[in-house]
Amino acid sequence: MPAIVVVGAQWGDEGKGKVADILAEHADVVVRYQGGANAGHTLVVGDEKTVLHLIPCGVLHPGTVCVIGNGVVVDPYALLEEIDALRKRGYLEDDSLLKISDRAHLTMPYHRAIDQARERLRGEGLIGTTGRGIGPTYEDKMARIGIRFADLLDAGAFADALRRTLEEKNAYLRNILKEQALDYDRIRDDYERLRERLAPHVIDASVYLDRALAAGRRVLFEGAQGTMLDVDHGTYPYVTSSNTLAGAACGGGGIAPNRITGVIGITKAYTTRVGSGPFPTELIDDLGRKLREDGEEYGATTGRPRRCGWFDAVVGRHALEWIGDHEAGRAHRAEEAEGVRRLQARRPTPGGFSCEPLGAQCPGADLRGAAGLGGADQPGALAGRSASERPPLHCLSGRVDRDAKHHDLRRRPARGYDHSSECLHHVTAMPGAVARGRRPG
């Protein structure tokens, strides 16, 4: 049975949470496969707003099983805070609806301390990390000194692992970062209490998902961040600490590549990013601020204002290669139209963007009042391009709430997740977003 991956095609914050939430209505299992509590999916259902950081969006659908995969790094304090908040609202009353891979790594107090101290020392060269310890947790995973949920369940193994690791981390905190050392007994005791609450959720998620797919259950994989924040293929070093591409769902969820039956890429009609790093189409003016305010472009996790700018076709083309559009070339040059050279640029290089942004004004549309547009109703910048120039677009939305969607996005999954090549790319536009190149409103 189908396994669908939902990924962002920009620097994150494209509206993945909304699309994943809509698709989750037709899924039996929803899996988060990478990232940590630095991500945030904002879901609006009716008058109720929910921001999820670790738990998959399937939690808002009765009976849907949510799985935190082995590719996720989990801050247990953040997770329990999220669980408690959801339970107060009537969600997750059954422990069996939330499962955590025993191979997922724990974000520890020293990870947060190191992350925040390093960012302070970088000064003007800061990366823009959330300071939640995600990077240092992945570092320990790669260095093979990380602590996993499987270790947490074994009191003796956890105590030994914590003692060895904390000795090294405290030396680093004191001598290099000039920070205070952390107390071993306090961390051990705190995590023993956390073990009691989290143990019922810990399973071998890879085996669970394999059996679920074999039994014909529908599985949805949701990523965090976006393609351009991938640690290998994004705008390094201004990236996140994990692989954000659709292919990462296999390793981060624990399934074979041939189990993936479709990929849905999400993009906004303009571009945003949080933190430092290249942003060729950024608008550092009143128009950029208007996009931020109209689009409510503030981080769901940190509340930081997002940088806003025009839609970046080069970024979109680069992302499509990783989403699975084999027609997307490794370089793209748009033809001259009406005497205006619209785009002539190469893909991102290891050193950044080897391009000078060139733009064009295209017919736009204000989608804030639109429940959904499709076919001939698509804004001119999209409908005006031939099928050979763009991937098919089957969903346009002008609002953040669940009901503001094109009906195709909801109908296709109900027919068995028939995600062929013509429906793998969906677009969601936040409030105030327009189709490339024209002022909102």
Residues known to be catalytic: 13, 41
CA distance 441 to 296: 15
CA distance 321 to 326: 6
**Tokens 């320990």, residue?**
140
Token pair belonging to 122: 């970088």
Token pair belonging to 195: 């073990």
Biggest distance spanned by C-alpha atoms of the chain? 72
CA distance 385 to 391: 10
Helix, strand, or coil here: 134?
A: helix
Contact 225, 246 (CB under 8 A): no
Nearest to 262 by CA among 220, 303, 228: 220
CA distance 252 to 79: 18
Q: Identify the burial level of 245 via C-beta atoms within 10 angstroms of its C-beta, where 0-12 means exposed, 13-18 middle and 19 or more buried.
A: buried
CA distance 429 to 334: 23
Nearest to 249 by CA among 220, 277, 226: 220
- How crowded is residue 162: how many other Cβ atoms within 10 Å of its Cβ? 21
Residues 6+ apart with CB under 8 A from 143: none
Token pair belonging to 150: 């499987």
CA distance 164 to 270: 48
Query: What does the buried/exposed string (b/e) look like for 106-126 if buried means 16 or more CB atoms within 10 Å of the residue's CB?
Result: bbbbbbbbbbbbbbeeeeeee
CA distance 300 to 274: 11
CA distance 159 to 81: 24
Phi-psi region of 341 (alpha: psi -120 to 50; beta: other; left: phi over 0): beta
Phi-psi region of 241 (alpha: psi -120 to 50; beta: other; left: phi over 0): alpha
